[in-house]
Amino acid sequence: MEMDGKLRQFLTWEKNTKQAVDFKPIYADMTNDLLTGLNLSQLIYWCVLPDRWGRSKLRVDRAGHLWLAKQRNQWWDEIRMSPKQIDRSIGILLDLGLVAKGHWMFNGKRTTHLRIIEDAFYDAWRANLPREEEDLLVIGTNQRDTPVSTKGKQRSSPKGKTGIDEKGRPITETTKETASEITTDAAAAASVMCSIHKVPMERRTKDGEVWYSHRLEDGRWCKGKPGDQPGKNEDWRNDREERHKRYATEGVMT
């Protein structure tokens, strides 16, 4: 039987949508609350899971720890929780000892800062881990991946997300790519370095334009020096020579 057009459209969207949250039921078990488990899941995405380079996504360093800086109303775009629901869920996580909370200035505003308390989190995770999944721990032990620490300074991440993108909008966790306008080839991006800060830059595309950039600790974005952009070196040199000729000519005319 031929597939209905509406069903085909839905299945195409379902397969390719970039708004998807990787929510595991164990997080609800750990908190004994569905929405708090959802909030914990997103905190784990930001605070525990590394980026594609194996580095922490966190960029804000306060009191010897790395924190996620996020306003209450910014959670809606990621997990559809209202500020009141976020207040309640964060309160539960604080009572359980799974997160720490602070308030500091961020982007000119007094902002809630959150981080996972790792030892308490891992203990709660192990206590609620289904027996049939314990074999997965052996697989994880045999892997040689370096764990990501949220202590101290890790400011060289090429994609240090704090929940805000280049335009000041909240970034949504996805199981594919976070933004449809950004396409990233990790191998290629790793070879494009910012000569100012000595860190890799990420390839970004929009409206047919391609550039490389990385995020600074104050939330701004850096493209490095003009000559750092692949394919732009010759254009930049030519532009510079043209400017020098023009300035020299203007100097003679005056």
Q: Is 166 within the bounds of a domain?
A: no
Whether pLDDT at 237 is above 70: no
Cβ proximity of 131 and 38 under 8 Å: no
Q: Would you state the structure tokens that stand for residue 63, as one six-digit string?
A: 């009191």
Question: In the chain, how many domains are there?
Answer: 2
DSSP-derived letter for residue 59 is -
Rounded Cα distance, 46 and 58, in Å: 7
Do 89 and 20 fall within a single domain? yes
Cβ proximity of 212 and 202 under 8 Å: yes
Top-confidence residue, 84 or 252: 84
Q: Is 42 within the bounds of a domain?
A: yes
Q: Is 221 within the bounds of a domain?
A: yes
Whether pLDDT at 242 is above 70: no
pTM: 0.56
- 176-214 core/surface letters (b: 16 or more CB in 10 A; e: else): eebbeeeebeeeebeebbbeebebbbbbbeeeeeebbbb
Rounded Cα distance, 107 and 120, in Å: 30
Rounded Cα distance, 104 and 215, in Å: 20
Residue type, 35: L
Do 80 and 28 fall within a single domain? yes
Confidence class for position 232, pLDDT limits 50, 70, 90: low
Cβ proximity of 18 and 177 under 8 Å: yes
Cβ proximity of 58 and 5 under 8 Å: no
Domain of residue 197 covers 186-253
Q: What is the pLDDT of residues 120-148, one digit of tens each?
A: 999 999 999 998 888 888 765 555 444 55
**Judging by DSSP bridges, how do beta strands 202-206 and 209-215 pair with one another?**
antiparallel
Q: What is the pLDDT of residues 73-101, one digit of tens each?
A: 999 999 999 999 999 999 999 999 999 99
Do 119 and 241 fall within a single domain? no
Q: In degrees rounded to 5, what are phi and psi of residue 32? A: 55, 35
Q: What percent of the chain has pLDDT over 90?
A: 42
Do 124 and 47 fall within a single domain? yes
CATH number, domain containing residue 32: 1.10.10.10
Do 134 and 229 fall within a single domain? no
